Amino acid sequence: MHLAAQLPGIHNVTVWSDPRSRSQIGWESFAHLARTAERGKFDFFFLAEGLRLREHKGRIYELDVAGRPESLTVLSALAAITTHLGLAATVNATFNEPYEVARRLASLDLLSGGRAAWNVVTSFDAFTGENFRRGGFLDEAQRYQRAEEFLGVARRLWDSLSLADLPADQATGEFVRPGAGTFAHQGQHFDIAGRFTTPAGPQGHPVVIQAGESPQGREFAAAQADVIFSKYNRLPEARAFYQDVKGRLARYGRGAADLKIIPTATCVVADTDAEAAELAGEITRAQVSPQTAIAHLEAVWGRDLSGYDPDGPLPQVDPLPANQLLQGHSVFRGDRAKVARRWREIAEDRGLSIRELVIAVGDGQTFVGSPATVATAMRHFVSTGGADGFVLVPHTTPGGLDDVVDRVVPLLQESGAFRADYEGTTLREHLGLAQRHTAREAIR
C-alpha cells in the first residue's frame, strides 16, 4: 500500500474554524504535516495549486483557503527538514513554459536527493487565464495536446544535462563536457532551442502525476504518468476506474506496476466505531456549513439563493445553467442542468433539505471507525483492486493526520500491508518505479 498526505486547500475539505486548526498558510503548518507524514513513512507530501482565487458572486470565495504560498517554494523549504518524504507539487501546463517548469523541478529533485514529483494539470477556464492576459487561450482538447507536448519537452530537457556532464576535473581542467545541456524542439505549441542549466537529480526524471478523469485524461495518464490521482474512493466505482486505466497500459508497452492509482481519501478515527461515526457526522456538517450549502446550490442553479433557508427545501425556481456565480471551481462545470435535475430527484425521494442534500451528494468520509476498523477497510480496498494506496486529506491543519499515523499506520505495518521503514531514498524507490532517463515522445 502507498500512502501520501495532502494539505487541504481547495473545495470545502478543511475546517479552518475548528478550534484545533492553526494557520492554513503558515510555515509551521506545512512543516508539522510534512514531519507527520515522514514519521508515518508516507511516500510523498502533496500540495494542490490554484492560479487565481475563486470568486462567488463577484467576491472572493472565502469558504476556500486564500493566500497560500506557491507550492514549489514551500516544497523546497520542506526538503531541508525532511530526508525521505517525496515532495509533489501541482504545476499548470497551460499558463507556464516547459523550460521554466523543467528547471524548477530539476532543481527541487537535485537538491532534495531525488524526491520531486510534478502533478501535471491544465487550466479549464478563461477566468483563470485573465491573470495571464491570455483569457481562455486554448480550448479543452488543445490544452491536453499542449500538456502532452509540454511534458515531452520537459523530459527532453531533463535528459539533456546530467551530473556526469559536469565532471569538474581539476587534473584536466574540464568542468563541463562539450554539448552538455543542448536541446532543440519544434512542435505545435513550442519551438525552442538552447542549453539547459540544471542537471537531472538522482531519479533521472521527477515522478509525473496526473488526474485523468475524461477518456482523454485517462489515456494521457496511461501513456505518460507514474501516478494517477483518482476521485473514486468508493469501492465499486474505484474498481471500475482501476481496471479501465490499468487496461490501457499495455498499448504503451507498460505493465500494471508502472502506474500507481491513488485516490484521495479521508479518515475519521476514534476509540470505537460508534464514536467515530458520530465524529464523522460532526466533521461533515462543519465542512458543509449553511453558507457552503447555499453557495454550492447557487453554483449549480446559477441564481442568487441567499434568501433561502439552508435547512429548508430546494427552491422551486428553475436553474439558469448559463449563469456562472462561482468562478474558478472545477466541480461545477459541465451539464449543470442535468446535475440540478438529479439533485432535485434525490431531495424529493429522500425528503432532504438543501444542506442535507449537499452533504448527501458530497464525498463524505471515506474510512470511519476504530483504528482496527479503518486499517482493515484500507487493506480490503487495496487488496480487492480498488487502488494502489491513498492520498489522505485531513480536515484540520496541521494535526489532522496525527491519529492516522499514530494509531492506524502501526496496524498496517504489523499486517505487512505497509512498509515498516523506508527502503530507499528517492520517491521512485518508494513507489517501486524504475529510474527514468530517456525522454518519451509526446503522445499524439
Where do the H-state alpha helices sit in 40-125?
71-79, 98-112
Residue 164 Cα distances to 178, 382, 439, angstroms: 12, 40, 17
CB atoms within 10 A of CB 25: 15
398: cis peptide before it, omega within 30°?
yes
Contacts of 212 (CB under 8 A, 6+ apart): 218, 219, 220, 221, 222, 225, 228, 245
Sign of the Cα torsion 304, 307, 312, 315 reads: negative
- Cβ atoms of 419 and 199 within 8 Å: the answer is no
The set of cell numbers assigned to 191 is 519551438
| Cα(391)–Cα(7) distance, integer angstroms | 10
Residue 214, annotated as binding a ligand: yes
Do the annotations mark residue 252 as ligand-binding? no
Q: Phi/psi of residue 225, each to 5°?
A: -85, 155
- Displacement of CA 144 from its chain's centroid (Å): 17
Q: Is 264 annotated as a binding residue?
A: no
61 three-state secondary structure: coil
Q: How far is CA 415 from CA 272, 371, 411, in A?
A: 20, 13, 6
Nearest partner of 256 among 388, 148, 155, judged by Cα: 388
What distance in Å separates the CA atoms of residue 75 and residue 31, rounded to the nearest whole number? 10
Instruction: Report which residue type is found at 19.
Output: P
Distance CA 79, CA 198 (A): 18
Residues 6 or more apart in contact with residue 292 via CB below 8 angstroms:
12, 63, 358
The gap between the terminal CA atoms of the chain, to the nearest Å, is 33
**Percentages helix, strand, coil for the chain, rounded to the nearest 5?**
40, 15, 45
Three-class secondary structure of residue 182 per DSSP: strand
With beta carbons less than 8 A apart as the criterion, state whether 277 and 296 touch: no
Question: CB count, 10 Å around CB of 322?
Answer: 8
Binding region: 90, 144, 214
Binding region for FMN: 90, 144, 214
